[in-house]
Structure 1
Amino acid sequence: MSGAHLTRYQQLAEEIADGIRAGVLRPGERLPSVRQTCEQRGVSPSTVFQAYGQLESQGLVEARARSGFYVRATRRPTRSVPKAARPSAEATPVAISELVYELLGSTRDAEVVPLGSAFPAPHLFPFDALARSGARAMRRLPASRITGALTAGDEGLRQALRRRYALHGVPLAADELVITNGAMEALNLCLQAVTKPGDVVVVESPTFYAALQALERLHLKAVEVATDPREGVDIGALANLLERQPVAACWFMPSFQNPLGALMPPERKQALVALLARHRVPLIEDDVYGELHAAARRPPPAKAFDREGGVLHCASFSKCLAPGYRVGWTAAGRYAGAVERLKMSSSLATAIPPQLALVDYLAQGGYDRHLRRLREALAGQQQRALRLVERHFPAGTRVTRPLGGYFLWLELPPAVDALALHHRARARNISTAPGVLFSADRRFTHHLRLNVGHPDDARFDAALRLLGELAHGA
């Protein structure tokens, strides 16, 4: 890959790797600290963490506890990335909800180490600042505003979101945004707007279990498309699928996909949007992790390449700022009117107080500062988790190395039953998300999704070590 196409962390990693290969950096030598590298190179801490993490995954450097990163004397084998799934192109009725409810109910127990949870650690979020913003906003709220913007959402929040989209090069139409009760309501409303019972919807393989639950509830059929653990949906496989059968919609997560963490490169996102536009197939884009990138700049969403209003882009503050506030939205393109009507006939409105708290918080100017701290914490914790997987899980385990988010996807040796491992871990107060949750046909029997978004949790290291030991004994 040429230097012109490398991200900043990749460029930094390549420069250090060249120095190691040339003997400028010798075996056993300590690399500059993250702070020193930031000052010398003019880059962010997350860029340095990702560069050092890439070098570690290549076997060129090693991390030593409370000491830093060192050039390895010899290259040791490291975990490979999981193989891309190659699902059949057959439409499958979905029946996953009971399994999801059974397996993930334990994440509500505070005594359980939440490796199966969908949320990062609560202490990473500015709840005190949000509470102050909420109090300020409610003190100055005119009574008429409570019912002034029910279905579409508060206009102040919609303006703030449009400004943020514009800063990222994604201009939105004035009437395109609908505020929702979290991203899940946005995704469900968008799915309802473009399908009818019996329709076929294309999802990634593996895919987020909540997408399968939504399809099940609406009596839709799922077709899974081949998905690369690094770069997302296989565009060629999708093109073949679209030629063979009628498809009502695609539900994809192009940035830091759950559970893989895959990030589609911009050119792949552009090709995806163009392909779906030719077939007149709408794309429901789940972008709840888009702000949790580890590189210097936010990756463009697929919505950035939408010229015909066919991308229904959905996101929320739940994973990046305000879990529990349940404020999400959709920029639904040409389907915005249909989505708003569906919201009016279902939940009617999103609560005004949390919307106004977020408007006030965004106006204070601390959001990007919070995001930088959050990204740095998540990037550092991911590297810590990868080291623990490397040391404690069975030989033959493969693991993803995402460029953002807070999930790792593990492909365990075929002899390991991930569902049985989940039950054994749960008996030891550790939750996981076994791979059978992430496919309509429950194909990922020796896979796990692990939530590693819990820095400063003293239980985390011991839980991963124990989980690795249990996997050895499977």
Structure 2
Amino acid sequence: MKRYEAIAELIAADIRSGQLPPGTRLPSIRKVMAQHRVSPATAFQAYYRLEERGLVRARERSGYYVAGLGAASQPEPAHVAQPMLSSTVDVSELVFSVLGAVKDRDILPLGSAFPSPRLFPLPRLARSLTATARFIDPQDTVASLPPGNPALRQQIALRYLGQGLSVPSEQIIITNGALEALNLCLAAVAKPGDLVAIESPGFYAASQALERLGMRALEIPVHPKEGLDLETLAAALETHPVKACWFMTSFQNPMGVSMPEARKRELVALLARHEIPLIEDDVYGELYFGQHPPLPAKAFDKQGLVMHCSSFSKTLAPGYRIGWVAPGRYAREIERLKLMTTLSASVPAQVAIADYLHKGGYDKHLRKLRHALEGQLLQLGEALVQHFPADIRVSRPSGGYFLWVEFPAGFDTLRLHALAAEAGIGIAPGPIFSASHQYRHCLRLNYGSPWSPAFAEGMAKLGQLAKQLL
């Protein structure tokens, strides 16, 4: 990072940690110059960068102040430590009915599962696609069959290496997005009728996969501060014949919470003792707000039991549908399942992304993307404080683009969803994030779109509807 970026990040870290609470007046430009031994231009650039990110605000003739963090002033969601066993899973109809409006451009996408495409370097990717597609060797269409394009797998292996993980490119399998990777992993380690541990609340695609394959769900609660409840999981493994686990350890969808590194290590050790494979969904791992990326559970895997799944859909190339899995000891089964189902991910898309990564610029784009998401989170949080009922509870994500809102018991977010849809606002009500349709008083909001007057108006209207329902 440049000097002014480093100074900005130091101040941002103090804001996130609470050392600089909302409303705090920041040191003067003169003090920043003296403390960091930089020029006035560098000091101003650091504050300009923080202002662009929405973390600070300038007051005329007064200086710079920490922006109101909104949701950070509200209590976090309550923790309910009770696992739920579902003999059958039936969530798809509810998910389809709730999320069917995502494709409608006239619906405000607060319930969407995707960030705004405007945040991605799609023109730059298109140039890579155009440049590389003309020179694809016909033989590459065969050579890029599973495990996938060698150049792309090498680039992914280098990114693992940058985090301190040794994952050889030969052990990486390219898939049609992370969702295919996750489904292939599940099919490789479990069969119809088996019991699979999933998060609660958790990503609805996990419940849908179990439903499609005729498997049973064991819902393990997610703690709003520490992620997956390890103590509940440990007790459940002693009494239930769990065949596999499907967890999101960083910036979990829908709560946005991440497991601390020590807890991830404990999770891997716990599953290793029981010889239970972990399907790790890590599609948001690159979207962290601090200086350092969170290590995945894969980093602590010594027995090859962790199947690490991710993709470029949430960070670089929405629509290209390029994901991957580092499958550990299950590589042979997953590669065969890939050949038996979809055969290969798009060869031109693989080559284009490999070219983009090779030429550089990805990390610069990621920094810009993270800063945009962090600023959008602050604006959404302030809108919650301003317009929503005072007795809500709100999660505090340190990455990703999801916020979890908990209303008082008895509140009906399915009803709120219906009213919001009539007003042109999309939300994701809590029951779609549970195999047993829990969390009717909760909802997930998406802050993955640039803030605009339309979003401000939409949040004001949504808050008004929520107050009416209360």
TM-score (norm 2): 0.89
Shift of 1:174: 4.2
Aligned mate of 1:452, from 437, 447, 455: 447
Q: Report SS of the residue matched to 2:196.
A: strand
Aligned mate of 2:117, from 96, 118, 122: 122
Partner of 1:248: 243
Q: Report SS of the residue matched to 1:165.
A: helix
- Deviation string 1:60-80 (CA, Å, 9 cap, x unpaired) is xx968999864799x999311
Partner of 1:276: 271
C-alpha distance in 1 between matches for 2:32 and 2:113: 33
Partner of 2:188: 193
Supply the AA of the counterpart residue of 1:141.
I
Aligned mate of 1:267, from 243, 262, 265: 262
- Deviation string 1:3-62 (CA, Å, 9 cap, x unpaired) is xxxx967862499838x8xxxxxx97633599x97997699999969x997xxxxxxxx9
Q: Is the 8 A contact 1:47 1:296 kept in 2?
A: no
Partner of 2:136: 141
Partner of 1:308: 303
Shift of 1:85: 2.8
- Deviation string 1:150-199 (CA, Å, 9 cap, x unpaired) is 12110110011011101111111443211000000000000000001111
Q: Is the 8 A contact 1:92 1:441 kept in 2?
A: no
168-177 or 351-360, which moves further after superposition? 168-177
C-alpha distance in 1 between matches for 2:33 and 2:255: 29
Q: Report SS of the residue matched to 1:113.
A: coil
Supply the AA of the counterpart residue of 1:397.
I
Q: Is the 8 A contact 2:197 2:242 kept in 1?
A: yes
Q: Report SS of the residue matched to 1:329.
A: strand
Partner of 2:5: none
Supply the AA of the counterpart residue of 2:336.
R
Shift of 1:92: 3.7
Partner of 1:337: 332
Given the alignment of the two structures, is residue 104 of structure 1 paired with residue 106 of structure 2, yes or no? no
C-alpha distance in 2 between matches for 1:384 and 1:33: 25
C-alpha distance in 2 between matches for 1:309 and 1:91: 28
C-alpha distance in 2 between matches for 1:282 and 1:72: 44
- Deviation string 1:266-318 (CA, Å, 9 cap, x unpaired) is 11101100110110000000000000000101110110111110000000000
372-381 or 78-87, which moves further after superposition? 78-87
Partner of 2:77: 82
Aligned mate of 1:258, from 246, 253, 260: 253
The alpha-carbon distance between structure 1 residues 465 and 278, as it changes in their structure 2 partners (threshold 3 A), is same
Q: Report SS of the residue matched to 2:153.
A: helix
Give the unaligned 5+ runs of structure 1.
Answer: 1-6, 21-26, 54-61
Given the alignment of the two structures, is residue 399 of structure 1 paired with residue 401 of structure 2, yes or no? no
The alpha-carbon distance between structure 1 residues 46 and 224, as it changes in their structure 2 partners (threshold 3 A), is farther
Q: Is the 8 A contact 1:13 1:52 kept in 2?
A: no
C-alpha distance in 2 between matches for 1:259 and 1:138: 37
Shift of 1:144: 1.4
Aligned mate of 1:94, from 89, 93, 106: 89
C-alpha distance in 2 between matches for 1:333 and 1:14: 35
Taking the TM superposition and a 5 Å limit, the aligned residue runs for 1:17-416 are 17=19, 30-31=25-26, 70=65, 78-416=73-411
Supply the AA of the counterpart residue of 2:383.
L
Q: Is the 8 A contact 1:422 1:431 kept in 2?
A: yes
The alpha-carbon distance between structure 1 residues 174 and 17, as it changes in their structure 2 partners (threshold 3 A), is closer
C-alpha distance in 1 between matches for 2:433 and 2:190: 22
Partner of 1:23: none
C-alpha distance in 2 between matches for 1:228 and 1:176: 33
Q: Is the 8 A contact 2:247 2:278 kept in 1?
A: yes
Supply the AA of the counterpart residue of 2:180.
E
C-alpha distance in 1 between matches for 2:279 and 2:229: 17
Q: Report SS of the residue matched to 2:259.
A: coil
Shift of 1:452: 0.8
Supply the AA of the counterpart residue of 2:128.
S
Q: Is the 8 A contact 1:113 1:463 kept in 2?
A: yes
Given the alignment of the two structures, is residue 12 of structure 1 paired with residue 7 of structure 2, yes or no? no
Q: Report SS of the residue matched to 2:148.
A: coil
Q: Report SS of the residue matched to 2:461.
A: helix
Q: Is the 8 A contact 2:13 2:290 kept in 1?
A: no
C-alpha distance in 2 between matches for 1:288 and 1:259: 13
C-alpha distance in 2 between matches for 1:39 and 1:284: 50
Q: Report SS of the residue matched to 1:324.
A: coil
- Deviation string 1:79-131 (CA, Å, 9 cap, x unpaired) is 11101232334344110011111110001100110001111111100000000
Supply the AA of the counterpart residue of 2:117.
P
Q: Is the 8 A contact 2:57 2:67 kept in 1?
A: no
**How many correspondences in the alignment?**
451
Supply the AA of the counterpart residue of 2:14.
L
C-alpha distance in 2 between matches for 1:293 and 1:287: 12
Identical positions, percent: 48
75-84 or 259-268, which moves further after superposition? 75-84
C-alpha distance in 1 between matches for 2:223 and 2:360: 37
Aligned mate of 1:441, from 433, 436, 439: 436
Aligned mate of 1:430, from 425, 429, 453: 425
Supply the AA of the counterpart residue of 1:425.
A
The alpha-carbon distance between structure 1 residues 307 and 389, as it changes in their structure 2 partners (threshold 3 A), is same
Q: Is the 8 A contact 1:89 1:241 kept in 2?
A: no
C-alpha distance in 1 between matches for 2:58 and 2:409: 31
Supply the AA of the counterpart residue of 2:266.
A
